[in-house]
Amino acid sequence: MPSLSFSKQSLATLALLAAAGLFFGASSARAQNAAASNQAQAAPATEIVATGCLQSAGAKAFTLTDASTGETYNLTSDGVDLGAHVGHTVKVTGTDVTNSASDGADNGGGAPAEQAEQKDRTLNVTSLEMVSKTCSDQSAPGPSSR
């Protein structure tokens, strides 16, 4: 069997190259993971504008059914006094926070019809404009049973 002989200098060079490869490979993987994490965090929240009758749903709980779509929203807000507008027709603008607690299992971005079939959505209200001090009968007639 032939004998392999390496000088101390060639072994040191080989070890240095191997260490550099490991270092740069690990750095590249960390950079890719950080970039993917930043993209997930930077996904913009969905802003929604809905107009309808603001109703109380219990202590500090409010709902609004959009007069144009019939979709019902649970409303939350840190900066808007929703309680002062119960029984008023209002136009609210807010961020859809319905799925913020989920892990995003459905990343397919379901069609609006599929989203409407979900439970009531939650809107974090960022602004409110009063349309009327009263609520007109905005409930859309449902399918007639007779």
The DSSP secondary-structure symbol of 37 reads H
Judge if 51 and 76 occupy the same domain.
Answer: yes
Which single residue is written with the structure tokens 């119960």? 86
Judge if 16 and 76 occupy the same domain.
Answer: no
Would 106 be classed as within a structural domain? Answer: no
Judge if 19 and 39 occupy the same domain.
Answer: yes
- Number of Cβ within 10 Å of residue 107's Cβ equals 7
Across the chain, mean pLDDT equals 74
For the chain, how many structural domains are there in total?
A: 2
Judge if 62 and 36 occupy the same domain.
Answer: no
Judge if 83 and 15 occupy the same domain.
Answer: no
Mean pLDDT value of segment 60-87: 94
Would 146 be classed as within a structural domain? Answer: no
The DSSP secondary-structure symbol of 2 reads P
Domain range enclosing 117: 47-101+112-132
Structure pTM? 0.54
